[in-house]
Chain A
């Protein structure tokens, strides 16, 4: 059996070489990163040093040497097996096709999540529309009063004859971002409570939005309220439903893990859910732009409604057909090449 000192002197040069490569890879300065030739040495050296480590362990060499080799293997392992991502390309592909395809793939949960949101919204909306006092069961008088003041046609014309100032648009943009996107993220996190947290947020928002809409419509604040919400409603409500979906996916992984262990099911489904909630967050970001800079503007209601309807149609088309077209065109290109 090779003595430890001989073993060390025979192989130390390789360890130093691997150490130098790994340290260079870890360097924050891109100019110090290893060039291509050195990089190609990494896998080979890594396998050799792994072998040395197991030799050192079985031969019972000293703990210091084993520790040194172990640290070296650990550091190289990080680079050998890191999950490489070109994030920009992936982001573009995700928005273009990955996200809508993912929503379609889980369309049942999309409709389930929609039901949790829209059914209470429509019901409370109808109640609040027919019964003027119904809304007082849901909100306190102060909230209702400020809501009414916000959308009172006489009031709003008086307060902002030229629409809001641009800086207060920015204020609302900041508010919409921090509030609405945070809600999306919390709905996602609520899935961890076996989905109950997500369902709670969906029901709660449905009750809130539905009752306010019904109440204000009954009061006759139609153009101010519906005109305001028309523009951003498509993105914002759909994003809320999709973040609800992401929470339901996590909840379902815990309730119904199938053939996997609960932990494995959770790990697997979380990777899907996180993509949905990121997509929802991006949609809400767009909604915040629209809400802050378009919805508050003074435009004829007809224009606001048609923009709103157009955006709903766009949202539908995006989610229903996004990512399909590129596949078929690839397919037809492929066929063309085949024929020629």
Chain B
């Protein structure tokens, strides 16, 4: 049931025989991250120019000494911002401030944190990816492989990924478990559970609309159908015929307070309301 999707997911096989999926970041997110970093670098440089302004002003045009010192200082800052800032940021934190803002992270293409040499390779090769203008070469390269790698990423063996979501708050609460009818495949059972899990993020109308698609199986439309599906998924997960006290079963482990027992009896969900709100 876990099939390869037609998607930007990048799959890594680990030594434990597990597949890890990474969501590879596309050109738009990366361009925005680059623009953010560029802005940060500009602001940093302007801040330094402003901070050193008193020294520049006190030195007249002919006082070449301090002016020269500051010019040398600026050269070094520009060099550091151009070459060293992205390299060290990525090597030590796995991301740059701009990427962090867009929730991107650089990893090796085996999913491990990016190493210093790889970070150097991918950032120094920007000079080529940028050619002839605005990362045109990089964009062509990204369009020609399955992981949006620009030339620097190809050489360094790195990926830019969306930082994995750490916790989902989908909780599924239902009070009653009903035995499933026979003859459902694993995929179909899974679809039912997925529906119940997602239901907290769906409007009542949408829940009813979706549940009505299965009215042939549930034998009901409207809120009743929704409640039957939820009760079935409760049964799939717990395998129990209702434990009276277990009113709200917490699915994800977060301390999220489940909306306690919305309905006591699935078959009792107000029929009137259904008539009013049903899109059918």
A interface residues, Cβ below 8 angstroms from B: 3-6, 12, 15-16, 46-47, 50-51, 53-54, 57, 60, 62-65, 67-68, 70-71, 73-75, 77-78, 81-83, 85, 87, 165, 167-168, 170-175, 177-179, 181-182, 185-186, 188-190, 192-193, 197, 250, 263, 266-267, 270-271, 273-275, 277-278
Contacts and interface: CB of A to CB of B under 8 A. Distances in A.
Contact of A178 (B75, B120, B233): B75
B64 A170 contact: no
Contacts of A278: 120
Chain B binding site: helix, strand, loop or mixed by DSSP?
Answer: helix
Contacts of B189: 60
A171 B75 CA distance: 8
Contacts of A74: 20-22, 111, 164
B155 A54 contact: no
Interface in B14-36: 14, 16-18, 20-22
Interface string B176-204: 00000000001101100110010000000
B240 to A, nearest CB: 8
Q: Which 6 A-B pairs have the closest CB atoms?
A: A174-B72, A174-B75, A171-B72, A3-B239, A189-B127, A178-B79
Interface string B221-248: 0000000000001001111100000000
27 contacts: A4-B236, A15-B253, A47-B16, A53-B18, A54-B17, A54-B18, A57-B1, A60-B189, A65-B251, A68-B168, A68-B253, A71-B166, A71-B167, A78-B111, A81-B14, A83-B112, A83-B115, A172-B72, A181-B83, A182-B79, A182-B83, A190-B127, A193-B128, A270-B155, A271-B117, A271-B121, A274-B117
Contacts of B252: 64, 68
Contacts, number: 183
Given A74-B22, A171-B72, A178-B76, 5 more contacts: A4-B236, A5-B238, A71-B164, A75-B166, A167-B66
B213 to A, nearest CB: 19
Contacts of B75: 171, 174-175, 177-179
A181 B79 contact: yes
Given A5-B238, A189-B124, A62 B194 contact: yes
B124 A85 contact: no
B140 to A, nearest CB: 13
B47 interface: no
Given A70-B20, A172-B72, A174-B71, A267 B155 contact: yes
Contacts of A78: 107, 111-113
Contact of A60 (B1, B16, B156, B166): B1
Given A50-B18, A74-B20, A185 B194 contact: no
Nearest to A172: B72
A64 B20 CA distance: 15
Contact of B112 (A16, A77, A171, A250): A77
Nearest to B246: A5
B210 interface: no
B165 A71 contact: yes
Nearest to A197: B128
A81 B111 CA distance: 9
B68 interface: yes
A181 B79 CA distance: 9
B173 to A, nearest CB: 13
B139 to A, nearest CB: 15
B116 A85 contact: yes
A326 to B, nearest CB: 22
A167 B189 CA distance: 76
A137 to B, nearest CB: 27
A278 B128 CA distance: 18
Nearest to B128: A192
A203 B20 CA distance: 47
A228 to B, nearest CB: 18
A167 B68 contact: yes
A132 B190 CA distance: 85
Contacts of B76: 173-174, 177-178
Nearest to B234: A5
